[in-house]
Amino acid sequence: MKFEKKDILGMKDLTVDEINIILETAESFLEISTREIKKVPTLRGKSVINLFYEASTRTRTSFEIAGKRLSADTINISASTSSVVKGETLIDTARNLEAMNPDVIVIRHSAAGAPHMLARMLRQSIINAGDGSHEHPTQALLDMMTIKEKKGRLDGLKVAIVGDIMHSRVARSNIYGLSKMGANVVLAGPATMLPRDIDKMGVAVYTNLEEAIVDADVVMMLRIQLERQNQSIFPSLREYAQHYCLNRTNIQLAKKDVIVMHPGPMNRGVEISPDIADDPSYSVILDQVNNGVAVRMALLYLLTGGNE
């Protein structure tokens, strides 16, 4: 068991063994969040910078809590309150942060590849917390951990991912990750939200929700990015909901013990009906959030090996 990665940039470049180590480590970390004193001294004296160029509550809070539960010092920088508004480039910001000697930099950026550039430039470990429409590896890892927790395995499961695949970094990371772990991933969404050639990633693609979720073990609903409504990729929310909203009726097509996931934030009544989202016999959405902290603790733990 050896984990030698310097950075976590995407599910594309993690091996099956590395994914297994991360998931097993995360499972061990789960217990800490159930203690009365939710803190261990492991990363005392280490510092983690959360550099967020895009809005986030869940991911940023999750990383901050993960760092704090390991006793690391966590510093949050959001673009709107930093010198980014004064016109500083990402490279200059990064070099300045590097000079302050943090151990890990967590970055979310609207440009695909931004974390990769930092990883090449800086000696610190970089964790990609979402880059444009490219990857969001920590979300995929917490999704995989949740599926494994509920189903006992990933191998051989049918996972349907439904919604705006085109703009979804969550979808892309999950396709890479789940396929590697032996799951059978199928996608569904309106044609305008399916990237051309997506089937080359080795997944079945449908334009119809019902066809995609037949016999599914897991249904993952993606957030409709309301801010994209004026890009004319779908006529109206109501029409989208009519065809792609997961509800009490269409969920019957999936396996009896299907679990429903959503990376949040949810648009209730658009991609997922409230009675599904709030039904604990289907919804594992809050388990995903709980596991997210454990996955991020595992990554901070594994990356701060201190092999300098």
Partner 1 sequence: MAENKNVKVVMDNDGIDRCLTRIAYEILEKNKGMENLVLVGIRTGGVYLAQRLQKKISAIEDKDIPLGILDITLYRDDISSSSKKPALGKTKIPFDLDDKKVVLVDDVLFTGRTIRAAMDALIDFGRPKLIQLAVLIDRGHRELPIRADYVGKNLPSSFWEAVSVNLMEKNGIDEVIIEEET
Nearest distance from residue 145's CB to partner 1, in Å? 14
Cβ-in-10-Å burial (0-12, 13-18, 19+) of 61 comes to middle
Options 59, 74, 138, 304, the catalytic residue: 59
- Cβ closest to partner 1, residue 46 vs residue 167: 46
Nearest distance from residue 200's CB to partner 1, in Å? 36
Query: Which ranges of 30-81 does DSSP label H, i.e. alpha helix?
Result: 58-69
- Whether 58 is catalytic is yes
- Whether 44 is catalytic is no
Interface residue list for partner 1 (CB under 8 A): 1-4, 21, 24-25, 27-29, 31-32, 35-37, 39-46, 70, 298, 301-302, 304-307
Q: How far apart are CA 82 and CA 186, in angstroms?
A: 41
**Under DSSP, is residue 11 helix (H, G, I), strand (E, B) or coil?**
helix
Q: How far apart are CA 174 and CA 221, in angstroms?
A: 12
Q: How far apart are CA 110 and CA 170, in angstroms?
A: 14
Nearest distance from residue 125's CB to partner 1, in Å? 12
Nearest distance from residue 138's CB to partner 1, in Å? 18
Q: How far apart are CA 74 and CA 169, in angstroms?
A: 25
Options 86, 120, 196, 256, the catalytic residue: 86
Options 60, 109, 134, 136, the catalytic residue: 136
- Cβ closest to partner 1, residue 87 vs residue 152: 152
Where on the phi/psi map is residue 296: left (φ > 0), alpha (ψ -120 to 50), or beta? alpha
- Whether 134 is catalytic is no
- Whether 238 is catalytic is no
- Whether 59 is catalytic is yes
Alpha-carbon torsion (259, 264, 270, 274), positive or negative: positive
Nearest distance from residue 3's CB to partner 1, in Å? 7
- Cβ closest to partner 1, residue 138 vs residue 173: 138
- Cβ closest to partner 1, residue 125 vs residue 133: 125
The label of the residue with tokens 């119809």 reads 208
Element holding 188 (H helix, E strand): strand 184-188
- Cβ closest to partner 1, residue 36 vs residue 197: 36
Options 12, 58, 151, 180, the catalytic residue: 58
Nearest to 123 by CA among 146, 141, 100, 139: 100
Q: How far apart are CA 81 and CA 50, in angstroms?
A: 13
Q: Give the residue numbers annotated as catalytic, written as ranges.
A: 58-59, 86, 108, 136
